[in-house]
Structure 1
Amino acid sequence: MASNAIGPDSAIADDYLAIEARGLVKRFDGFTAVDGVDLTVPQGAVYGILGPNGAGKTTTLRMLLGIIDPDSGYRRILGAERPHDVAHAIGYLPEERGLYPAMKATEAIAFVGALRGLPMKEGRRRAHEMLEAHGLGYAADRQIRQLSKGMAQQVQILGTLVHRPRLVVFDEPFSGLDALNQQRLERMMRQLAADGTTVIFSTHVIAHAERLCDEVAIIAGGKVPFAGPVDVARDRIPAQVRLETRAADGVWRAALPADAERDGATWRFSLPETGVEPLLRALIEGEAGVLSLSIERAGLHDAFVAIAGEAAARALDEEKPEEMRR
C-alpha cells in the first residue's frame, strides 16, 4: 500500500499513541453501558476488543470516534483530543452495514471516501484499483442490490480503506462473512498493520482475536478487567506440562509438583515457577524413563474465562456461528 496519508494528514504528529482513553463512562436512561474503560493502543498494532454482545464494545468504539460523547472520561485519538479533527485519517466500518442499494460498487466506495475528504475522482480511480486487486473487478459497475451480501460487505470494507487512513476501526467485521472471506479480511488486517496502519476491531469470536491481535481489551458488563498483550492474558493461567514416563514409580516422583495428576503413564501438572529444567534433571537422574514431555500454554479462551468469568465466556460461546460450535 502506498502512503497512508491524504491531504492534511501530514499535520498529524508521529509521536502519539493511536488511541488513549481513561475512565470512559456512558449511561443511557440510567443504565451504565460503559463503566470506566481504559484503553491504550500503540501505532501499527492490531488491537481487539473482545466480549459478548451487550458488553459495551460498540458504545466504546463510538465514544472513541466522537460519534457519541462520554459522560465522563478522557480520550485522545491520533494525538487529537477532538476525534472530528482527525476524522479524515480514520476509517470506520460500523456493525450496522449500510450502502445505497442503487449505487454502483465503484461509486459506493468513492462516496464513502468522499465522506472522509477524498475527492470523488480520485476515489473512483482507487476504487477500480482496489476492486481489481481483491478479485471484484467484474462487480465495479454493478449496483449494490445486485451483489451478494458477502460481496456488498467487501465493497463497504474497501470504502472504509479507500482514503488510506492511519487508523481503521472495525465493529464486528467478520459478522456475515463466509470462511473464505473471513480469511481474506484477516490477511487484509495483517497487511494494514504491516504498512503502519493501526487496526482496532471488536469481536465476540475469540479465535479471530487470538490469531490477529497484538493486544486485546477484554470487556464484560461495561468494564475492562484486562487490557494488554495477548501473551500476558494467557500467562494469567500457568502453562501445563504433559509428562509420559516409562517407570511407574521412583524417587523422581518427589520432584513432581503438588498438583500433578496421573492417568496411566501420563502425568499433568502446572509448569513449576523454576521452569522445566530442574524437573527434567530430577527425572533423568531418578531414571524415570522420559518418553515425552510437552508444555502447553493456555489459550485465550481459558484466559477469558479466568479474567471475565464463566458467565461472560458462556455468552461468547452462545454467540459463535453454528459452524464454530460443532
Structure 2
Amino acid sequence: MTGELVVDGLHKRYGDLVALRDMTFHVSPGEIFGFVGSNGAGKSTTMRIILGVLAADSGEVRLGATPIDFDGRRRIGYMPEERGLYPKMKVGDQLAFLARLHGMDNATAADAVARWTQRLGVAERVDDNVGDLSLGNQQRVQLAAALIHDPAVLVLDEPFSGLDPVAVDVMSDVLKEKAAEGIPVIFSSHQLELVQRLCDRVGIIARGEMKALGRVDELRSRGGVTLEVSGPSADSRWADGLPGVTAATYGESVTELRIDPAVADDQAILAAALRTGPVHRFATSTPTLTELFREVVSA
C-alpha cells in the first residue's frame, strides 16, 4: 500500500464543541507536510483519526484511492506527542516487540532494532530501561518505534519536542531520507522556523479549520512583500499612489511599504524615493512563517 495520503472532509464534534470542520488536505509521496496550529486547534485530533484511534463523524482518510482500514493502518508509522513507551522495558526488547506486532519475524525485527538504534544514536542504550533515558533519548527511541516496521506513511505529532540541536538535525535528516524514498511524511510542530526550513508544504489550522494551505514560499508571499526604504523624508508621503504599493508606513527616517510583486516596479519606487533625497537602504523581505502564523491565527 503506497501513494498519496488524503484527508477528505473530516468533521468531528464533542457535544457543542466542533473539533474539526471539513478538514481536507493531502500529502504526496515524497513530500514533507508541516501541520501547524495553536494548542487545541485540532492537529492531534486529525492525526488520531488518520490512525483510527478516533472515529470522524464524517469524511474519510485514504491512501491513494483506497480508504485506510485496519490492515492499512499497520503500514503507518506514528509518533504521538505523549510518549507511548513502556518505561520499565528495555529499549531493544521494546522495539523488537513493536516490530513483531507489525508482523516481522524475530530475525528481521532484531536487524531493524540494530539499524534504527544505530541511526538515531541510541545503540549503546538498547539494554537500558526506557525510563532511565533522558527525555531527548526517549524521543529518539519513540521515533525508532515509528520507523521500526518500514512504514508506508509517517505521522509524527511534535517529534522535535525536547530535542537538543544535534538531535534535531538527526531527526530532520531521517525525515528527509524517508521522504526521498517516496514516503508521505506529516508532522506537527510549534517550532515554526524548523517547519519553514524542512517542509515542502504547510497547513495552518485554527479552531478546527484549515486556514492556510500551500507551499511555504507561496504562503509567505501571499500577503505581499515588505520593502524597507531608509532616507526619504516621511513628511513627503512619497510612496502614496505608486502602482503596486498596497500600504505604506512612514517613520522618521524609514518607510516600510507593502508591495504586490506582480504589479510594483521596484525601479520606479526607487526613483520616487530618490526624488525626495538620498536613499541609504532599499531592501525587500518576505514575512517568516512565524509572522504568517500570527497573522492567520489572529484573523
Q: Is the 8 A contact 1:97 1:153 kept in 2?
A: yes
CA-based RMSD: 2.8
User: Which shows bigger deviation, 194-203 or 173-182?
Assistant: 173-182
- 2:277 pairs with 1:305: no
Give 2:93's match in structure 1, choosing from 103, 107, 112. 107
Amino acid at match of 1:150: G
Aligned partners of 1:29, 1:159: CA distance in 2, in Å? 34
1:90, distance to aligned residue in structure 2 (A):
1.3
TM-score, normalised by the number of residues in structure 1: 0.80
Structure-to-structure mapping, 1:13-24, within 5 angstroms: 16-17=3-4, 19-24=5-10
Taking every aligned residue pair, what percent have the same amino acid on both sides? 31
CA-to-aligned-CA distance 1:72-102 (integer Å, 9 cap, x gap): 1132124420342322321001122122233
Q: Cα 1:66–1:253, aligned 2, differ >3 Å: closer, same or farther? A: closer
* Structure 2, unaligned runs of 5 or more: none
Q: How does 1:11-160 map to 2 (within 5 A)?
A: 12=1, 16-17=3-4, 19-160=5-146
Structure 2 letter corresponding to 1:296 = S
- For residue 258 of structure 2, the aligned residue among 258, 270, 274 is 270
Q: Distance in 1 between matches of 2:39 and 2:238?
A: 49
CA distance in 2, matches of 1:23, 1:115: 31
Question: What are the ranges of 5 or more consecutive residues in structure 1 without an aligned counterpart?
Answer: 1-11, 311-326
> For residues 77 and 83 of structure 1, what CA distance do their matches in structure 2 show?
10
Quote the Cα distance in structure 2 between the aligned partners of 1:183 and 1:22. Answer: 32
What is the alpha-carbon distance in structure 2 between the residues aligned to residue 100 and residue 281 of structure 1? Answer: 63
Task: Quote the offset at 1:237 in angstroms.
Answer: 1.9
Q: What residue in structure 2 maps to residue 296 of structure 1?
A: 285
Contact conserved, 2:100 with 2:106, CA < 8 A, in 1?
Answer: yes
- After superposition, the C-alpha distances for 1:162-185 in whole angstroms (9 at most, x for unaligned) are 222121100121223334323332
Counterpart selection for 1:161 from 132, 136, 147: 147
Distance 1:248 1:73 in 2: 54
Report how far residue 128 of structure 1 moved.
Answer: 1.4
8 Å CA contact 2:27, 2:185 repeated in 1: no
Per the alignment, residue 183 of structure 2 pairs with: 197
> Which residue of 1 is the match for residue 247 of structure 2?
259
| Structure 1 CA distance for aligned equivalents of residues 237 and 186 of structure 2 | 53
Residue 189 of structure 1: how far off its partner (Å):
1.8
TM-score of the superposed pair, with normalisation by structure 2: 0.86
Distance in 2 (alpha carbons) for counterparts of 1:250 and 1:22: 53
Q: Render the CA deviation track for 1:248-272: whole Å, top value 9, x for unaligned.
A: 9999767754733333443211124
Paired residue type of 1:241: L
Give me the whole-angstrom Cα distance separating, in 2, the residues matched to 1:156 and 1:258. Answer: 48
**Residue correspondences, number:** 296
- 1:195–1:57 CA distance, 2 compared to 1 (3 A): same
Distance 2:174 2:65 in 1: 25
Distance 1:33 1:291, change over 3 A: same
| SS at 1:156 equivalent | helix
**1:196-224 deviation line (CA, Å, top 9, x unaligned):** 22210122332332222211221111111
